[in-house]
Amino acid sequence: PQPPDSDSVDLGGMVALEVEEGSAGLAASSSGGSPRETVTTFCDGAGLAEMHGKEATSDLGGSDATRDLESKILGDVARELESNNVDKMAKEIFSFYICARWAPDETFWQLAEQELAAQMVDSALNDTSSDDPDGDINQTMAEMYQSYRFVPMLCSQNLEVFGETDDEDKTYFRKFKTKTRELAKWLGQAAQTPVGKSLTELDKTFCGDKPMNSCNRDDLLSKIAAWFGNEPSKETKFEKLKEKLQDFGGAAKTEKFKEDFKDWKKRLPYHSFIGKPKGWEADHKKSPSSAQRFVVCFGKRVASELHRRPNGQHILTDQNNIGCHGWWTAEEASKQIDRMVKLWAPPTCQLATMTYTMKKEIMAKFQEMNERLFDSMPSMINDELMEEELDGEFNHEDHLPKPFAPKEWTDGSRVFVDGMRVQAVKKGGFCVREDEPGHCQRGFMVKEDWIGVVEVVAGKLQAKFSGLPEDARETSFEIKPSEVRIVPHGWKAKKGFHGHVKDLVAGIGKIHDKAKAIFDSFFSKRQNNLAELMSGSVSKWAVCPIKQDANFSALDENLGVEDAAFQDFQLDAYKKWTGFEKAIPGEKCVDSAEILGSVPGFEKTQVCEINELHADHVEKYTKNESSGELENFVCPLRPPLPADEQLAVLMKKKGTCFLRMTGTQQQQYSWHYQGRFPARKQNDRKENLPKTDYELVRLMKVGGNELESQTNIGRFCSLQELSQSPRFCVLPKVHNEWSSLEDFASSMADSIAAVAVKTGPGKDDVDAMAPLGLGATAMSDAISSYQGKLEQKEKTWKEKAKKVSIALGEKTWDKLRGAGRLARSTAYYIKDKIKGEVASAGRMSAELEQRLFGSDINGEVLHSLSFQRSIGANAQSSNAKERFQRYVVSYPCPDFDPAFEYAVRTRWGRIALRMVREAFHIHKHKTIAGGGMAILGKRNLHLAVRGDALRFQKENKEAKDNTFFMTGASMLWKNGVEIRGEKMDKCEWTGPVHGTGSCQPEGRCMVKGLLRSCVPKPWWDSPQKGGWWPVDDRKLVDVVAPAMTTGHGVSVSDLSGLEMSLYCGPKKAFGSQGPPESSQSPPSLLECLKEGVETNARLKSKEPWKLYFPDEIVVVATFEAIQSQACMLSQAGLQSKDKQAIQSELCRQSGADGRGELVEHLVDGQGEPHMKEEAGSNDRFMGLATGFGWPTGALEEVVLSPEDVLEALDLISSSHGR
C-alpha cells in the first residue's frame, strides 16, 4: 500500500505510558552468543579472579567462598560488557514497536478523567450547544475519542535487532526475524479475531462506515437513538454510549472473546494514549478508517524521565513517536513489518551503514567531551592561579565588572565622572609617581596627548593611563584638573587602550596570559604526545583468560570480530592535536602493479580505492533456515560516499579515463547494481577483477543527488583494443587546423547538425537524426580545449588579433547549444535536404553517438566503474572476516575529447562515403572479367578530389572589381585509369519531360536549356578514358573549394586537394598505418564488404559483451594531400595586359601550367569552360587553377563499417536510419 498522506499520521501532543500496567525494564540477556553467556561459559573464573587481584587459595576460607567470588567477578564483567559497551549502545537503537488504536474502555476512561482533566474542562467550556456550562463528562469523553483529542493505544515491547542471538547459528538477526515474523503472522489475522472485529464495530458506532470524526453531533445523537430503539434524552444517550465504550472487554463477553482479549493485552501490554487538545484538524476524509488502527514505530519507546501530573494518579513518561508510520490496517501493518525485515537483512548493508553512522555519532560525542575540556582548560587554569594568588579565597563573581555607579568630582568649573576620557595637555608632561622628592620614577611621566580614564577614589580625582608600565596600568593616579582636558567619550589610545581597560576592569589580563602559557607548554604538549600514541593505534581490554578445557569452535561461534572501523574513529578523534585529515575515497591512487601485479595491458593504469567491504558484516545471514545455507555477501566497513559525490571526486582528475564495464559485461560477469532496490542483497562476496576487455570512459558531467540523476560519460576504447590495435582507438592526426575559434566551432556545429533520413519508401517518409544526446558539457569542453590550444599557439600574436582568433560569435554558440541544434534538427528544416544525402549518414551518426557517449543514473555509473578484490582476513581475531577492496582503475587520456572526435569522425566519414558514391555513380557501368563491377573489383579503391577555380572578367572595364571566380571540384579514380568504359546508350527521357521523368543514363546525361533537352555531359569522355570529371555533389565541392556566393573574395589559395585510399579487412590485419596485410583480406573490395557484414554480425551475436574483435571487418579510408597543382590561362588571359598577374595568381606552383591533362575535362575544344553559361555570356574566361594541400580540419583517416559503404551505394537494403 501507498504510505498515507503526511497529515493522516498525527501523534503530536502528550504521549504517555501507564507504567502500572506492565514493566518496561529489560532483563539482562543470557541467550546463546550473548556477552553474558560467553563470559559465564568460557571464562576461567580462577584466572579472572587473579587478574582482579584476588588469590582464592590464600585469602578465602573455602571452595564455596571462592566460587562466590568468581561468580561475582564474572557477573561484574558480564554487566560491564552489557552496560559499558559502545557497540551495544550503537546497536540498541535498531528496534521497533507497534501500537494499536484501542477502545476507551474503563481503564482508559479513568486514565483520561484523571490525566486529561484540564483538556476535558476546555472541551466542555467550548461546547456552546450545551445548556450546562460544566458540560457532560460522558459526552465530553465520547467526543474527545471521536475527534481524536484522546486516542487510547496499546503498544508492544520493542523488538531489537541485536537483542538476542539465535540458538542455532548464534546470530542476532535470525532471532529478530523469528520474533518479527511471529508478530507479523499474528497481525495478518488480527482484524478477524473477536477483538479485532469489535474494535472495528466500535468506531462504526459513531458514523457508520464513514470515518468516526466525519459526522456532527446531531448525526451522532440520531444514530445513538436508532441504536437504542427509542428517543432518550441527550444525557441518557451519552450515558449509554459510555457504557458501550467502557464495557469493551467486560464480563458479558464470550469466553472466546475474553481469551482473545487476553492475547491482545499480552502482545500489546503497554497502555499509552495520544492527547491532542485540538483533535483532528485536517480533512476528516484523511482520518483513519475503522480498520486502520496500527502504527509501526522505529527506535526506543520511552522518551523521557518518569513524571506525574499535578494531582495525577498515574506515573507517566513521554513515548517516542518520531519514527512512526501508519495508520495501517492489521494486514498492512503485517506487510510493513515483513518489508522492514527484508530491508534490514544483513545482505542489504542497511544495518552495516547505520551501525557505523550511529557508532561514529557516539564517538563524536566522546571526542567533543575531550575537546570541550581542553578548550576550557586555559580559563580553568586561570581561575586556579587566581585562587593561588588570593590564598584560596578566589570567587570569580567578586572580580566581575560591577554595575555602573559612576562617581563625580568637580573643581567648581568642570565636572569629572568615572570612565570619562581625558587627555594630558601639560607641556612636557607630568609625573604621577616619584622615586624620591623632585625626581620622577622611570616610566611614570605621563606625556602630552596620552589618553586616560577618570576614576574618582575617596573624593580625589585620579586616572589610569595605558602608556604607563604594564604593572601600573591597572592603578589610578591622582591628577590635577589643569593637567588634562576632557575629550569625546569614544576616543581611544593609539595602542588599543580600550582593550587594556577592559582587561584591567576584569582584573585578569596578566594571569590570563600566564595561564595560557602554562597550558601551551604543559597540558597541550602532553595531550599532543598522547594523541600521537592513540591516533591510529589499537586498544584492547583483556576480558578474561579462557578455560583450559574450552571448546574453541563453540567459543568462536559466540564471538564476533575486531571493529576495523574503530581505528578510523581514533584517527578522527585526535585530529585536533595530530592534524590528521581523513582521505577522501578515490582521491589517492597508486600504480596498478601494487594492487593487481604485472598484468599485461595495465602498465599505464592506476588503482584508486573507494571503499573496504567485509564479508558477513555486521553478521552472517542464514538464507535458508531449513538447510542452514548462508548468504554470501559483503558490506562496506564505512558508509560509502553518495554516488554523485564519489563521481565528482573522480571527475576532478583532469585528463583521466576510468575503466568501465558495459551493461552487457555486467550481465556476463554477474556484477549487478542493486541500488534501486535497497531491500535486496547489495554486494556479492566475490572478486570482480578488471579486464582489458572493459572500456575506458571519461566522466563528462555528474548529476545531482536525486535517485534518478544521470551522469554523462564519453566512451574512449577498451584497454585490449588500445593495446593491440591503437589505430582504431586514438583519433588520427588532424591537418591544417582551424585558425580561429569561430571557424572551429562552425565546423563542429555543421558536423553535429541533423541529417535527413528516409524512413520509408514514400516521398514524405523523411525524418531528422541528430546527436541531441551529445551534451552541452561535452561541447563546451571541446570549445574550451581548442580555445586553450589557440591561446598557447598565439602567445606571440598581438592582443587584438589574439582576441579575434579565440572569440566565438553568438550565432555559432546558438548552433552548438541544444535549442539551436534542435531547431536545425526538425523534419521541416531538413525535408528539402534529403536529396543528395548519403543513405547511411543517419544510422552512422546514431551509432557513433552511441559509441562515444553514454549516460545512466549516478549509482549505476559508479557501480560500472567499480572493481573488487579479496585482501583476505586481517588475522587480528579468530573470527576475522574476509575483506574486499573496492576500487576504480584510472588511465591517462588527456587528448580524448569525445565531442570533437564525434564531429571530425562524422564529417570525414561522410566525406569518404560521398567520394565513393560519386566514383561509383560515374564508373559502375565498367566491368571486369567475369562481369563484376570494376569500381569495387579491386582489393582497394584509390580516389582523388580537388578544388577548381575558374577566373572570369566582366566586360565592364569601369567596374572597381571586374574579376570573379566560379568554384567547383573534380575527381579521379586513381587506380582505375587504365579501365575504359563501354559505349553507353544514348541519352533520352524516361517518363514525361516535365514531371516525374528523368534524363537517363543518369551518370552520363544531363538536362540542358529551357527546352529541357536530355544530352550527354560534355566532359563524359574524360572519365570514360580514366580521367578526371567534375563533381555534382556540392557538399563534396565545399570540402576542397570555398562556397561560391558572388565569386568575389575567392582566392586560389582557398583551394585544396585530397587523395583517398579505401581498404577493407579484419582489424588484426591492419598495422599502425597503411593498408592491411593482403593475405588476410578478400580478393575484391565488394567481397570484403559483403563478407564483413555477415562476419561482424556473427562475432557480435556470439559474444555480445565484447567490445573488441580482432577478426571484425572494417573499412579504413586514409587521406593524403594532393601535392601538385595545375593551371591554365585561356586565350583571353594570354592576351591580357595583366597576363603576368593572372598567371601569378592562378599558377601557384612551378610547372603548374604544364599539366593541361589535369584540366582538359573542364573546357571544350576552343578552351572555353563548360560552365560558361552559368557565368554569363558577356564575361570573359581568363583561366583556371586546381587545388592542392590539406583542406581545413582534415582527418588523416577514418574508420567505417562495411554496411556504411554498401548502404551508401544502395547495395544493401536501407536501414532507414536504424
Q: Who has greater pLDDT, 384 or 412?
A: 412
The rounded distance, in Å, linking the Cα atoms of 362 and 77 is 22
pLDDT the model gives residue 343: 94
Joined grid coordinates for residue 991: 517518363
pLDDT the model gives residue 826: 47
Say which residues have a Cβ less than 8 Å from residue 313's Cβ, sequence separation at least 6.
Answer: 114, 115
Judged against a pLDDT cut of 90, whether residue 1177 lies above it is answered with no
467-471, 768-772, 979-983, 1015-1019: least confidently modelled range: 768-772
Which position has the grid cell 583521466?
656
Is residue 308 within 8 A of residue 17, CB to CB? The reply is no
The pLDDT of 762-782, averaged and rounded, is 66
399: left (phi over 0), alpha (psi -120 to 50) or beta: alpha
The pLDDT of 226-246, averaged and rounded, is 63
pLDDT the model gives residue 569: 58
Judged against a pLDDT cut of 90, whether residue 1103 lies above it is answered with yes
Judged against a pLDDT cut of 90, whether residue 34 lies above it is answered with no
The rounded distance, in Å, linking the Cα atoms of 998 and 982 is 22
The rounded distance, in Å, linking the Cα atoms of 1027 and 606 is 56
Judged against a pLDDT cut of 70, whether residue 211 lies above it is answered with yes
Q: Who has greater pLDDT, 1025 or 251?
A: 1025
Is residue 675 within 8 A of residue 859, CB to CB? The reply is yes
Joined grid coordinates for residue 272: 499509552
Torsions phi, psi for 706 (to 5 deg) = -75, 155
The rounded distance, in Å, linking the Cα atoms of 99 and 110 is 20
The pLDDT of 94-114, averaged and rounded, is 85
Of the chain, the end-to-end C-alpha distance in Å amounts to 42
pLDDT class of 370 with cuts at 50, 70, 90:
confident
* Residue pLDDT, tens place only, 1035-1064: 999 999 987 555 567 888 999 999 999 999
Judged against a pLDDT cut of 90, whether residue 341 lies above it is answered with yes
pLDDT the model gives residue 374: 76
The rounded distance, in Å, linking the Cα atoms of 287 and 1156 is 96
The rounded distance, in Å, linking the Cα atoms of 737 and 495 is 66
52-56, 938-942, 1003-1007: least confidently modelled range: 52-56
Say which residues have a Cβ less than 8 Å from residue 966's Cβ, sequence separation at least 6.
Answer: 949, 950, 952, 1044, 1047, 1169, 1171, 1174, 1175
What is the overall mean pLDDT for the chain?
81
**Best mean pLDDT range from 456-460, 792-796, 821-825:** 456-460
The rounded distance, in Å, linking the Cα atoms of 456 and 463 is 8
Judged against a pLDDT cut of 50, whether residue 16 lies above it is answered with no
Judged against a pLDDT cut of 50, whether residue 25 lies above it is answered with no
Q: Spell out the SS3 assignment of 929-957.
A: CCCCEHHHCCCCEEEEEEEEEEEEECCCC
pTM, two decimal places = 0.78
pLDDT class of 234 with cuts at 50, 70, 90:
low
pLDDT the model gives residue 526: 61
Judged against a pLDDT cut of 90, whether residue 457 lies above it is answered with yes
pLDDT the model gives residue 3: 37
| Closest of 262, 288, 98, 266 to residue 188, by C-alpha | 98
Judged against a pLDDT cut of 70, whether residue 823 lies above it is answered with no
pLDDT class of 1068 with cuts at 50, 70, 90:
very high
* Residue pLDDT, tens place only, 899-917: 899 999 999 999 999 999 9
pLDDT class of 508 with cuts at 50, 70, 90:
very low
Judged against a pLDDT cut of 70, whether residue 521 lies above it is answered with no
pLDDT the model gives residue 1104: 93
The rounded distance, in Å, linking the Cα atoms of 231 and 1062 is 104
pLDDT class of 79 with cuts at 50, 70, 90:
confident
Is residue 1132 within 8 A of residue 1167, CB to CB? The reply is no
Question: What is the Cα 393 distance to its own chain's centre?
Answer: 62
The pLDDT of 1078-1101, averaged and rounded, is 89
Other CB atoms within a 10 A radius of the CB of residue 63 amount to: 9
pLDDT class of 744 with cuts at 50, 70, 90:
confident
pLDDT the model gives residue 183: 95
| Closest of 960, 981, 684, 713 to residue 849, by C-alpha | 713
Is residue 694 within 8 A of residue 931, CB to CB? The reply is no
pLDDT class of 212 with cuts at 50, 70, 90:
confident
291-295, 865-869, 1013-1017, 1069-1073: least confidently modelled range: 1013-1017
442-451, 541-550, 1117-1126: least confidently modelled range: 541-550
Judged against a pLDDT cut of 80, whether residue 208 lies above it is answered with no
Joined grid coordinates for residue 197: 472485529
Joined grid coordinates for residue 1165: 575544344
| Closest of 181, 183, 334, 193 to residue 259, by C-alpha | 193
Joined grid coordinates for residue 389: 594568588
Judged against a pLDDT cut of 60, whether residue 24 lies above it is answered with no
The rounded distance, in Å, linking the Cα atoms of 140 and 691 is 75
Judged against a pLDDT cut of 60, whether residue 830 lies above it is answered with no
One-letter amino acid at 544 equals C
* Residue pLDDT, tens place only, 180-204: 999 999 999 999 999 999 898 888 8
Burial of 387 (0-12, 13-18, 19+ CB in 10 A): middle
**Best mean pLDDT range from 9-23, 207-221, 527-541:** 207-221
Q: Who has greater pLDDT, 16 or 309?
A: 309
pLDDT the model gives residue 135: 44
pLDDT the model gives residue 11: 35
Share of the chain above pLDDT 90, in %: 42
Q: Which sign, positive or negative, has the C-alpha torsion 309, 313, 317, 318? A: negative
